[in-house]
Structure 1
Amino acid sequence: MYHMNPTAEQTSFRAIAVVALLFSVGMIATAPAASAQAGNNSTIALDNQTSNGTTVTIESVTLPEGGFISVHNESLTPPQNETIGSIIGVTDYLDAGTHRDLEVVLDRPISHNQTVIAKAARDTNGNQTFDVRRSQGFQDTAYSSNGSAVTDRATIQIQNATSFANNSTVTLRNQSTAGTNVTVRSVTVPEGGFVVIHGSALLPPKNQTIDSIRGISGYLDPGVHQNITVELNETIDENTTLIAAPYRDTNNNQTFEYAASEGANDTPYRPNGSSALISQANVSINESARESLQSDTESSGGNANASASSGPQMLELLVLAAVLVGVYLYLKVT
């Protein structure tokens, strides 16, 4: 039987085909491994420090997949092991990577020297919101190393402690907006609750406490909150007066039910038993911001789906292309 020896060109094609196939297999095999390895390299460093009791500074933290830093009091540790009730402060969402000198504003300020614990947490549901409390610990779980949560502890020495009154406070400043939301400069809710935006019908002589509601924040943990953006139920089309008011969460379900209960639940904070606490401001319409918002909304309709779907599919497309090239070259020379 006659056997044809492969030409140099055929040999080259076969080599290229083998390399392409190996490349595609390598991408499939190594991508998950790299992700798993990255998840095990979280670190956190918290040094002893002085504070007025309202903030804690994290020296450094590495979050391979992004997430949050939660600060806990000593009830996190045995015998109490309060993973949720011990939380006294949380960072905003942090991108993947290393972060240094992070100042964490405490939701529950501390007034005496004590040990606190900083914990690195994942963003397990990818919504960039810390959901440990609301999910009862099932979401945004801690990074782990050797089977233990990634944490560090330090002693906080209190100097010039800030005094926090039990009374609620709220500040709404004059501002311009596209008409879809307003920003509350600050609010203090000692027992947790909500900040609600009302229209001018809240004021005398109408005094409409329910029908005047224009927007409601999400649930706010006990403490001081700043720069809270409240989405409005309906877009405002002209300059107007809006009022911000803090409300309690009287039934502790973290859902605003003042209107649904016709005023029976989630009542307003009333310092010293006085009338409801409010802050009013003039809100003007920024036409440039509105036009920009409308333009972004129209243009994002067609692009959003494409952008959202293209990212996750990129790896699969590269692998498929490599496989097809390998098969094509192999068939060509056989």
Structure 2
Amino acid sequence: MSSRSTFGTVKRIGAILIAIAIVLAAGIVVGQAPAIFGVDQDPEASIEFEDQQGDGTNVTIDEVTLSDGGFVVITDGSTDPIVVSEYLGSGTHENVTVELEEDDEPELFGQLTATVHQDTTGDETYAYDETDGEEDRPYLADGFPVSDTATVTTTDDDALTDSFVVESLEIPAEATTNETIDIVAEVRNPTEFDTQQSVDFRVDGTVLEQQALELAGGETREVIFSINTTGSPPGEQTFGVYTDGDGAIETITLEFHTDPGIDVVDASDENVTTNVAIPTEGFVAVEDNESVLGTSDELDPGEHANVTIELEESVDEDEELNATLYEGDPEEPDDAEAIEHDNETVEVTFTIADVTMGSDDESDGDEADDPEADEENDENS
């Protein structure tokens, strides 16, 4: 073979390799285009659902924005939807009417929740329920479904003819997360007949308590719900009292009843035991300077004693460790956020040796301060 033909073959192979490299590079750039140009691939949505009056057959969504299209699902606090909107394309939609079928009984009254769902099947047909939640899941923001709540009262006098009326609702403006408060509603029977109906107490649309109330014709009576706030997350919440066709809501601000904190009460190279006060759903994580060594089970808001964290690997008893409070899912610690108080992370630094020594000193001190133990020692001597 001549040197000229060999050189030509080499040039052709080189050209082919360069072409392959260009194609691969182009593919990489295209695949990374959203990240390179700052485009967020996660679907996003928002919704505004204001209080309104209606005849029970439809509601109006003031504004809904969907990045990838989808549906608005209306519920009344239960898991089953009352009605689902028609498919909505991507973009912003104003004054969207969501209505029942013609043969359905009017039931769009009281406190309702409107949640924005995706169209993951791409067929513009709502499939969340029939697929047991595998398809057409809600849009999420900060890990929670994108939704809004509104109270719908009736414009139809006939609709209230047989329903008790909530004349007024009194709740405290503020409370802490470890007390019992009274929710007082004044309920009237507008009919001329003795009637028994149920009165519901709801928090953010979810029924928490129900009372059966019997009223004579034209009678008005106070209904009192005594609610223990222990375990409730701090922040603003919507409390409501509802009858069959009427309701009233008020907002309350719950303050966490103590400072968030964490105390290591026992430790070994296998597990760590803590007492914690956590203001939101979250967990305790034990960490070294490089990684998470173990997490607790998920904790509800409140105070918890003897929370155990199993360590995934043994650690030296003199190694400095951190026990930290996190908001989020212990199964996904990388996505959790450290809880802060007064602009500082709620955490404590410790070593197994120091915790063990402290426990031993406390035990010795208890024995020394025990009068019965001293008396028994005197008798034995």
Question: TM-score if structure 1 supplies the norm length?
Answer: 0.37
Which structure carries more helix by proportion? 1
Which of the two has higher C-alpha Rg?
2
Larger relative contact order (CA 8 Å, sep ≥ 6): 1
